[in-house]
Structure 1
Amino acid sequence: MYFHLQEFINDIAQDEPDPAAANALQEGLGGQFGEMRTMMQYLFQSMNFRGPSGKAYKDLIQGIGTEEISHVELIGTTISRLLDGSPGYHGTPADPVDQPGAGGATPLSIAVDHGNIHHYLVGAQGALPVDSVGNPWSGSYVYNSGNLVLDLLYNLMLESTGRLQKCRLYEMTDNKMARGTISYLIVRDQAHENAYAKALETLGVNWRTSLPIPKTNAEQFPEVKRLVDLGLQSKQYSFDLGNQSEAGKIFQGASPSNDGTQLDASEQAPAGAPMTISPERLEEFSPGADADLRELIEATAAMEMADIDATFGRMA
């Protein structure tokens, strides 16, 4: 089972909207080496895992896959925030939703020459399951061979490539919101590299000669350095409420990054950060739930609860 804590896995920094940065970040969400790929690949590998004696490896892959769900949430929300707002639009909730463009105003003019126009046409200033040029995310990206060594090698390559791309994304924008999220994902990608590298070592695979991890020197980025100084690249979380994960049998000892740190799998989850909901966007005709709709929602919920009570008895 999966549970959702209504917190972001990392804080989203505040800065001005930046549609071009949002479009670049789509590669880190829906691209071939993006967060949707890692999430689905690891969850499918863990679901299809065979062999009870290898439970520690299943738990490691599943824990990372669970974390990737929160990474999809983090980068998707960041994209949405980077798109959130239309320069020159000053509408208020008191105005009818058909007024923003009255008199020839073009509150969404930024959409035609900044980034991906589908962010505005289709997504109402929100993230999409696509890459940076609009190609839809594809399930064909997922690699699940059924062979543990092959899967771990592929996962290590995936995390290494993802970190390399995010370092490039960092250098494409100076937006603090974008850089804050990118930096967190860079460091967590390194933690996952360490996890898969350590797992391969326990299986006798000399990954350093067969698949050397590219050196990005990401520590030169101040936001990355702050997180590395906290040792975030050497932590792995179980996300296991039942305290049954055996991933710590693998994620221990000296870090494969050779940075002098020790791997630590003792924490269930990171502290998290407060979660907020973006405001309505009237110029997108996305007003949320108006009074009439809320009344309908409440009436429908009451009918469903009455049906449940009639079928199963009143719930305590």
Structure 2
Amino acid sequence: MYLHLQKLIHPIETDEPDPAAANALQEGLGGQFGEMRTMMQYLFQSMNFRGDPAAQPYKDLIQGVGTEEISHVELIGTTISRLLDGSPAYQGKKDDPVDKPGDKGATPLSIALDHSNIHHYLVGAQGALPVDAAGNPWSGSYVYNSGNLVLDLLYNLMLESTGRLQKCRIYEMTDNKTARSTIAYLIVRDQAHENAYAKALESLGVSWGKVLPIPKTNAERFPEVKRLVDLGLQSVQYTFDADEKSQAAKLYRGASPSNDGTELSTALMPEGSPLEMAPERREEFAPGLDAELLSLIQATAEIELAEANDPS
């Protein structure tokens, strides 16, 4: 069973809306190496896990990481929504009141025609979608669950390494604080998960480093990443086990495979950050056509009709 707290796993910084950055982040959400993939892959591996009681630490480790990935989906999806929310006003002409439907003929959602993913406006009402940055729907065929523990752990290590590499690229694509605060956190947590699967492989006698080295991204040069690394966030793994029966600590301990001089440790869960509800977006007819909005639309239509019929 899972419990949900009304908190985000990490705070999201406030900045201007940025629909282009939102679309880049879609790759980190619904792409082949995104958070939806890691969430589903690890949860399916843990649900289908086979073995005797001695294998319990491996199941607990995979399930703990998979549970954390649910919160990463929530975090990156909320970030995309905040980058999109109110974006019709972003980069618009200063003399063009695009946030006022019908005012002087302005079109509220005109930005959707020439900024990134139009589906963010047509389908998602300025919210995240289960797609990649090119708009391709997320696919369950991404999920790898072979039933062989060593193969699954190797694949998971590769998945986390590739995901971190992509997030470093996304970070370099934008200087938006909202986007970077989330990207930096996910870069560091991907490294923690790399450490998890690397340690598990080592315990099975697999010399993974000779075949699949953790890529050296030097992400610590990003200030937001360095701040989190200095806190040791790359060397702790959460169990999300309210009963405190997880045996993941039997694996996630000792010197970090990242060779950064830190020691690995486990914890129940992070403190979290307040989760706020997004405001209504009238130009998207969200959450719905209420009486006030219908009245506004009617009044706007009457004004525009009068202006159209005015010969002067």
Give the TM-score of the pair, scaled to structure 2.
0.89
Matching residue's letter, 1:218: A
Work out whether 1:220 is the aligned partner of 2:192. no
Give SS of 1:80's match.
Answer: helix
Aligned to 1:74: 75
**Shift in CA distance, 289/255, structure 1 to aligned 2, threshold 3 Å:** farther
Task: Give the whole-Å Cα distance in 2 for the aligned partners of 1:256 and 1:101.
Answer: 59
Task: Give the whole-Å Cα distance in 2 for the aligned partners of 1:90 and 1:159.
Answer: 41
What displacement does 1:89 show?
Answer: 3.6
**Shift in CA distance, 134/154, structure 1 to aligned 2, threshold 3 Å:** same
Aligned to 1:38: 38
What displacement does 1:263 show?
Answer: 0.1
Work out whether 1:29 is the aligned partner of 2:52. no
Aligned to 1:17: 17
Task: Give the whole-Å Cα distance in 2 for the aligned partners of 1:53 and 1:291.
Answer: 62
Q: Deviations over 1:72-117 (max 9, x none)?
A: 00000000000000214444xxxxxxxx136522111111111100
Moved over 4 A (4+): 288-292
Matched-pair identity in %: 78
Matching residue's letter, 1:146: G
**Shift in CA distance, 291/202, structure 1 to aligned 2, threshold 3 Å:** farther
Aligned to 2:145: 144
Aligned to 1:284: 284
Give SS of 1:264's match.
Answer: strand
Aligned to 2:154: 153
What displacement does 1:213 show?
Answer: 1.1
Equivalences for residues 128-143 of structure 1 within 5 A: 128-143=129-144
Matching residue's letter, 1:201: E
Task: Give the whole-Å Cα distance in 2 for the aligned partners of 1:134 and 1:200.
Answer: 35
Work out whether 1:205 is the aligned partner of 2:225. no
What displacement does 1:163 show?
Answer: 0.1
What displacement does 1:215 show?
Answer: 0.4
Equivalences for residues 248-263 of structure 1 within 5 A: 248-263=249-264
Matching residue's letter, 1:258: N
Matching residue's letter, 2:240: F
Aligned to 2:118: 117
Aligned to 1:58: 59
Task: Give the whole-Å Cα distance in 2 for the aligned partners of 1:291 and 1:149.
Answer: 60
Task: Give the whole-Å Cα distance in 2 for the aligned partners of 1:144 and 1:157.
Answer: 14
Task: Give the whole-Å Cα distance in 2 for the aligned partners of 1:72 and 1:90.
Answer: 30
Give SS of 1:126's match.
Answer: coil
Task: Give the whole-Å Cα distance in 2 for the aligned partners of 1:182 and 1:231.
Answer: 17
Aligned to 2:108: 107
Task: Give the whole-Å Cα distance in 1 for the aligned partners of 2:231 and 2:288.
Answer: 40
Matching residue's letter, 1:200: L
Work out whether 1:4 is the aligned partner of 2:31. no
Aligned to 2:188: 187
Q: Deviations over 1:173-219 (max 9, x none)?
A: 00000000000000000000000000000000000001011100000
What displacement does 1:290 show?
Answer: 5.2
Task: Give the whole-Å Cα distance in 1 for the aligned partners of 2:237 and 2:279.
Answer: 34
What displacement does 1:258 show?
Answer: 0.4
**Shift in CA distance, 289/113, structure 1 to aligned 2, threshold 3 Å:** closer
Aligned to 1:177: 178
Give the TM-score of the pair, scaled to structure 1.
0.88
Matching residue's letter, 2:190: D
Matching residue's letter, 1:257: S
Matching residue's letter, 2:16: E
Uncovered stretches (5+) of structure 2, i.e. residues with no partner: 90-96, 293-312
Give SS of 1:136's match.
Answer: coil
Please tell me the root mean square deviation across aligned C-alpha atoms, in Å.
1.4
Aligned to 2:296: none
